[in-house]
Structure 1
Amino acid sequence: MSKKFLTLLATAAVFALPAFAQEKVKVGVSGGDGEAIWQEVKELAKKDGIDVQIVVFNDYLLPNEALNAGDLDANAFQHKPFLENQIKAKGYKIVPIADTVVAPIGLYSNKVKTVAELKNGATVGIPNDPSNGGRALLLLQAQGLVKLKDGVGILPTVLDITENKRDLKLRELDAAQLPRSLQDLDAAVINTNYALQANLNPSKDAIAIEAAKGNPYGNIIAVREGDKDKPVFKKLVASYQNETIRAFILDKFKGAQIPVF
């Protein structure tokens, strides 16, 4: 058998090898900013043999239900206090495996330009879920609009308000509805992903915004408890927590999303 023939045979064998099979990972994310970031992560993950399949959600309840039921492999839409509250309420066996971003929540208004302009009796919308509602109340307290009981931590409720000098009327609404309801309110505390979807820029349009430093509401990647040590998720985290993604977030969102890794 000639050397030339052996070389041709070896070459043919190489081309006959099956394509490298990528491991599929279905990740639930929020629309808008979350989806944009994960499209970048998807491209990086390909290089490490992961086919990230992005599933977009437009509410805060379905992604954990889907993950817990096995319809997703991971999700990345929520901060730690929200997940902790969901676990307590629903009994989910879901755990965080990595930090992603913090998105400072803001107070928005179509009727006033500053917090000082809010009149007595103004109606202010806040999210109706415990973790984001508490977050909204803490922002209102930081602006001197209400005072909360000492020691309430990061999950206060409207029942914890001890002082409301401007007699603000607080309306608890689904977080996703707040941007659409802004025209009927004097102001509303809106989560950043929903603000961006409504073309509200936190750094320009918010009349008050949460501090980023020391913020306990950092977002996470979460998986089912039994899957947390799978090698594929270590690769997924590495695809997110790198300088390419950090630079993209800082350039794209201009402070509306801040990397916490």
Structure 2
Amino acid sequence: MIRKFLKTTIASLLIITSAIGLSACGSKNSSNSSEKKEIKLGVSPGPYNDLFNAGVKPILEKEGYKVTLVNFSELLPSEVALTEGSVDFNVAQHNAYVKAYNKEKKANLVSIIKIPTVRAGIFSNKHKSLNEVKQGDKVFIPKDPSNAARAYALLEKSGWIKIKPGVVKTLATQKDIIENKNNIKIIEMDSSQIPRSMNEADYAVLPGAIEYMAKIDASKSLLSETLSDDLYITVAVDGKNKNAKWAQDIVKAYKSQDFKNYIKTHNSKGYWVLPDDLK
């Protein structure tokens, strides 16, 4: 489903790709330099760019780097720019997305480090426990394939549904449900609409980024997803740059004590889940 989503969206970005390709001619030459001190971050809306700007960028600047932010309206154009070389890295995708993108686009993006991630969770404005679920309750979940699959995996974790054996959890759809003992009504909708629509539902599954941007307290989650390695957000670069000094300095910045201290003092609401490398 991630692959299908990427295929249809990439098709609509051909004009963008061409434009970026022209503008990237000069920037590709600069991104080949392992020692360069000016690097470009492809920025799309979400908490991970905010975290980078506040907690990592200052560390890199102390090391003499100039970080330029290149803004995009969503993640996919940022990935295209990274593939074409007009930006050097981005910090807004999980490794499952990178793999699907590479397969669809015949690209060579590489995740160089897993970073703190906000988990999807089940929330409710009407109930204080999953045990309060009753027959026919409405449950809102995201409709985009990647987040929908994660939502179905989370609903299975709650015990409300069962997914057909053998189905890859990151590809699950509503058609893969083989048991729904409470006959809950699962309604797929645009992720950004879920927070403002929660009073119309009994329960809702919120992706981590949406939960963060809507300023919903993570501690109010009735159940949070279990993050597999492929679902942690990562720093992605073109494969040819993975060993460049600037790329490894980004890795070092995330692993630094300064960044660990930042997370400790800016995680009072429990949004950020740290991968083992950063604990």
User: Structure 2 length normalisation: TM-score?
Assistant: 0.76
| Aligned counterpart for 2:118 among listed residues 103, 107, 124 | 103
Within the alignment, does 1:33 sit opposite 2:47 as a pair?
A: yes
Aligned residue for 1:162? 178
| Cα deviation 1:19-43 (Å, max 9, x = unaligned) | xx97222223454532332122111
Identity %: 31
Structure (1/2) with the larger helix percentage: 2
CA distance in 1, matches of 2:76, 2:153: 22
CA distance in 2, matches of 1:125, 1:62: 28
Q: Does the Cα contact within 8 Å between 2:36 and 2:246 map onto a contact in 1?
A: no
CA distance in 1, matches of 2:231, 2:86: 26
| Structure 2: tracts of 5 or more residues without a match | 1-34
Change (3 A) 1:56 1:181: farther
Instruction: Kindly name which structure, 1 or 2, has the bigger radius of gyration based on alpha carbons.
Output: 1
CA distance in 1, matches of 2:121, 2:264: 18
- Code of the residue aligned with 2:145 in structure 1: it is P
Secondary structure, in 3 states, of the residue corresponding to 2:243? coil
Within the alignment, does 1:45 sit opposite 2:60 as a pair?
A: yes
| Aligned counterpart for 2:129 among listed residues 114, 127, 141 | 114
Secondary structure, in 3 states, of the residue corresponding to 1:229? coil
| Structure 1: tracts of 5 or more residues without a match | 1-20
CA distance in 1, matches of 2:119, 2:197: 20
Within the alignment, does 1:220 sit opposite 2:234 as a pair?
A: yes
Aligned residue for 2:208? 192
Superposition pairs of residues 172-251 of structure 1, within 5 angstroms: 172-203=188-219, 205-211=220-226, 216-251=230-265
CA distance in 1, matches of 2:49, 2:90: 11
User: Structure 1 length normalisation: TM-score?
Assistant: 0.80
Q: Does the Cα contact within 8 Å between 2:49 and 2:92 map onto a contact in 1?
A: no
| Aligned counterpart for 1:149 among listed residues 155, 164, 180 | 164
CA distance in 2, matches of 1:215, 1:187: 27
CA distance in 1, matches of 2:143, 2:98: 15
Aligned residue for 1:11? none
Output the aligned Cα RMSD.
2.5
Change (3 A) 1:253 1:59: farther
Change (3 A) 1:65 1:112: farther
Residue 154 of structure 1: CA displacement? 2.8
Aligned residue for 1:93? 108
| Cα deviation 1:88-129 (Å, max 9, x = unaligned) | 344433111111123221111222222222332222222233
